[in-house]
Structure 1
Amino acid sequence: MRWPYRIEDWAFALQLGQGFVLERDGEVIATAAWFPYGEDCATMGMIIVSGAAQGRGYGARLMDSLLAAAGPRTVLLNSTPEGQILYTRRGFQPAGMVHQHQGNPAGRSEAPPLDVVRPLTSSDFEAVARLDAEATGFQRRPLLGRLLEVGDAQVLLRQGDVAGYVISRLFGRGHVVGPVIAPTPDDAHLLIKAALSRLEGRFVRIDTAADTGLSPWLDSIGLLQISDALTMVRGTMPRSGPSRVFALSNQSLN
């Protein structure tokens, strides 16, 4: 599949969820993982079958194991075109599209003033967790805790209160900027600019839902769209708002 996961990216994900593998003659030929968010929601991803082993039902076996582990939870995943038939047969429905953008940003990003976006402090965690739950519709406190341990986090301020956040971290070929939680696209721009101002000259990836409207702007600053994935849900889509997710932590953890 040539996905750019580092060993550290696998280790990070598996601290937050459970992975499954299939082996043949002592060699791993397929992987998959799921990530619980409380008793009601979960995400799934890192579903990979080696080229020589594709078309033999291995992906279906792993998917059935994931769904058995997740139980009655609503499940979200982001599917490649190759996986959509498999997921549809297991009750998943289309729920949106994610655009993957990456590259070396053109020019220098100017950080917003510190009274607009500032570094996150430990006292901001509860506000960030509340905003994240409102935007996603489920509780991701363990994920947020781990992201804050390894990433560079900044918060958006409105009248002195935390109104959004961004976290960037090492991932894949460079850095990923996400999650980005904000009330409006303009606010998301501010948070992304703040993150990029600390990543000058670095390779950057951002995954954003198509309906955020961020893709044209990301293209314009040199982060070109290179692929997309179909967001699919099994169960009832979590209700969210008024803030929303403008960028994912990654397509597996969401």
Structure 2
Amino acid sequence: MRPSDSLNVDAFATRVDDIRDVELERLHALSISVGWPHRAEDWRFVLELGKGIVALDEIGRVIGSAMWFTHGADFATIGMVITLPRLQTNGTAQWLMQHALTELAGRDLRLNATRAARRLYRSLNFQPEKTVFQCQGTVRLTGDGLDTAVNGQVVPLERKDLPAVIASDAAAFGVQRDILAERLFEQSTGYGLFRDGVLAAFALCRPFGRGHVIGPVVAANDDDAIAVVRPHIAAHDGMFLRLDTHFSTGDFATLLSQSGLPVYDTVLTMSLGKRLADFVPSGPAPLVTYGLVSQTLG
């Protein structure tokens, strides 16, 4: 049953509206109110890629949001689920999520939940999968791990490499995200690891939040992931950098911590429908997502 388009919150009526009908500045103010680092430009990027809704009070103030990003006919990620701090326990977020789930009926879903939101998502039957480690900080080059040998050739990615990037991302993520990859390519610097002319790993880096974010990063092992992330770390010495990963141990995680990117926070990847394991391809040395595009986009 579709949820009501209005809700009484704190003795005042709240209504739902299309997120694209709200001025960018008001959405940006909402994310600032909960301490999220998104710039207006980051909001503009997700608005171009996805759909969503907002909760508005009686005088049109934005008090909550939820977005979703579809890939093909059967899959979507959910993100930008925000409510004003004073409203986080009164049902507004659940009301917004019920609207989103109605729009996404029949799809397999994935999201990354903050600690505060996990109870909500569990109540909606989302299942926990993996911890995401938000690694960030000001890059400091120590030399450790920056000059190790590479099995292959690491070179800047060019437009002609986009089809291989899309295919590699699909193999690691489990779903083809061609439109997202194309948009990321437009605003990112990328490095690819090639062996005999074949793309073995890649990493993109773009402006985001307080500085830049590396992601996605796709590779079959730590060594390959390190090979394509190192150039981005070297290019941002003394600058703020972020990378969201499911890896907290191993050589890849060590490179991040030694480069000034310790774990700042964690979120939990959760799914509704197919589980993460259902998306893993069979075969030796499968490609793995070492770095997320973002917590919103997966």
TM-score interval for Structure 1 and Structure 2 normalised by the shorter chain: over 0.9
Q: Tell me the SS of whatever aligns to 1:205.
A: strand
Q: Greater relative contact order (Cα 8 A, min sep 6): structure 1 or 2?
A: 1
Report how far residue 49 of structure 1 moved. Answer: 0.6
Q: Which residue of 2 aligns with 1:38?
A: 72
User: In 1, distance between residues paired with 2:47 and 2:280?
Assistant: 26
State the identity as a percent.
37
Q: Tell me the SS of whatever aligns to 1:187.
A: helix
Report how far residue 126 of structure 1 moved. Answer: 1.3
Alpha carbons 1:178, 1:206 under 8 Å: kept? yes
Which whole-Å deviations, capped at 9, do the CAs of 1:101-146 have from their partners, x for residues lacking one? 1011222675788962111112211111111111010010011000
Q: Which residue type is aligned with residue 20 of structure 1?
A: I
Q: Tell me the SS of whatever aligns to 2:73.
A: coil
Q: Which residue of 2 aligns with 1:106?
A: 140
TM-score between the two structures when normalised by the length of structure 1: 0.94
Matched, 1:236 2:274: yes
User: In 2, distance between residues paired with 1:94 and 1:212?
Assistant: 20
Alpha carbons 2:135, 2:242 under 8 Å: kept? yes
Q: Which residue of 1 aligns with 2:167?
A: 130
Aligned ranges 1:53-202 → 2 under 5 Å = 53-107=87-141, 110=146, 116-202=153-239
Report how far residue 13 of structure 1 moved. Answer: 0.8
Which consecutive residues of structure 2, in runs of 5 or more, have no partner in the other structure?
Answer: 1-33
Q: Which residue of 1 aligns with 2:296?
A: 252
Alpha carbons 1:99, 1:215 under 8 Å: kept? no
- Residues 107/114 of structure 1: CA separation in 2 closer, same or farther (3 Å cut): same
Q: Tell me the SS of whatever aligns to 2:98.
A: helix
Report how far residue 60 of structure 1 moved. Answer: 0.3
- Residues 191/126 of structure 1: CA separation in 2 closer, same or farther (3 Å cut): same
RMSD, aligned α-carbons: 1.8
Report how far residue 211 of structure 1 moved. Answer: 6.3
User: In 1, distance between residues paired with 2:71 and 2:137?
Assistant: 31
Q: Which runs of 4+ in 1 moved over 6 A?
A: 111-114
Matched, 1:226 2:256: no
Q: Which residue of 2 aligns with 1:10?
A: 43
User: In 2, distance between residues paired with 1:206 and 1:96?
Assistant: 16
Instruction: Give the aligned length.
Output: 254
User: In 1, distance between residues paired with 2:70 and 2:296?
Assistant: 12
